[in-house]
Amino acid sequence: MNTRTRPLQVMVIAAHPDEPEEYAGGLAAAYAEAGHHVKFLTLTNGSAGHASLDAPSLVARRAREAHCAAERLGVVEYEIFDDVDDGSLVPTLELRMRVIRSVRRWRADVVIAFHPEGGGHPDNRAAGRIAADALHFTELRNVLPAVPPLPRAPLFLLMPDYATVDRHRHEIAIDLAPVLERKLLGCDAHGSQFYEFSATGDDRPVPPADDWAGRRAYLLDHWKPWFESSEGMRKALTERYGAEHAAQVTYAESFQLAPGRRGYTQEELADLLPPVPVPAAG
């Protein structure tokens, strides 16, 4: 039974603007639609992610795209560390303290971040390590005493990126169907990434901006792994929705409980996750 008497404070931490939308946009939208407060935090400004735009122009554009995506998803705050260049992220004490400060100020109940180990983009790996290190100290008042500590540790979930799918454990999965359009629109807001940078070297034409049906189909095809459910998610989907519903899920996101944290009962998790929609009477 859900015993919550106030909205949850949820934070998604990633390396670059567009990644919270890509890897956790559905979960974020589900929290927002349930009346909870969601913040996105990216630890770099995304200055490298384009084939033709210069860095200052790209940084400004990606910030505009981020705020457009937030509006579409119902995310109430989008913080970008705009003084940290794309490609230069390393796990420093300074950045750990900045993340502790941000998590505490948000009074986070739930934090979602990348896996701290893995191949792929070094910024993503560093963002995961910085988040994991910061979460060790959010309750300790003698670390960064100027900002009040959290009363309890946030639920810490890991989201996979393209390089960590082989080690990711599908422990919590959500059906994207109720929020699929919101996630698609959140990704669509990042045109510099989902249609321009990603299309470099791809022979498939990107539909024009006024062809939403075409762009929608393009996103679902070109970015298929971050929308479609997989057999590996089936157990987690069944635990959350029941076998009959799980068998019909086409689009899903999955998350892993961060290792080394305390265990959670099913009742505690239910209180910290968006509610499962009640099936319509038939």
Q: Which residues contact 136 (CB under 8 A, 6 or more apart)?
A: none
pLDDT digits (tens, 9 = 90+) for 171-196: 999 999 999 999 999 999 999 999 99
Answer yes or no: is pLDDT of 145 > 90. Answer: yes
Under DSSP, the state recorded for 87 is T
pLDDT digits (tens, 9 = 90+) for 71-118: 999 999 999 999 999 999 999 999 999 999 999 999 999 999 999 987
| Beta-bridge partner residues of 9 | 37
Using CB atoms within 10 Å of the CB of residue 228, give its burial: 0 to 12 exposed, 13 to 18 middle, 19+ buried. Answer: middle
CATH 3.20.20.70 given to domain 9-173+254-272: no
pTM listed for this prediction? 0.95
> What's the pLDDT score for residue 246?
97
Element spanning 68, H or E: helix 55-73
Rounded distance between C-alpha atoms, residue 173 and residue 112, angstroms: 13
Rounded distance between C-alpha atoms, residue 57 and residue 70, angstroms: 20
Parallel/antiparallel/unpaired status of strands 172-175 and 252-257: antiparallel
- Pair 135, 156: CB distance under 8 Å: yes
User: Mean pLDDT over all residues of the chain?
Assistant: 94
| Beta-bridge partner residues of 10 | 38, 110
> What's the pLDDT score for residue 99?
98
Dihedral sign computed on CA atoms, order 77, 154, 17, 132: positive
> What's the pLDDT score for residue 281?
44
> What's the pLDDT score for residue 277?
73
Which amino acid type is present at position 179?
V
Which position has the token pair 């990603």? 198
Looking at residues 17-30, what average pLDDT do you find?
98
Dihedral sign computed on CA atoms, order 240, 244, 247, 252: negative
Reported as a pLDDT band with limits 50, 70 and 90, residue 201 is low
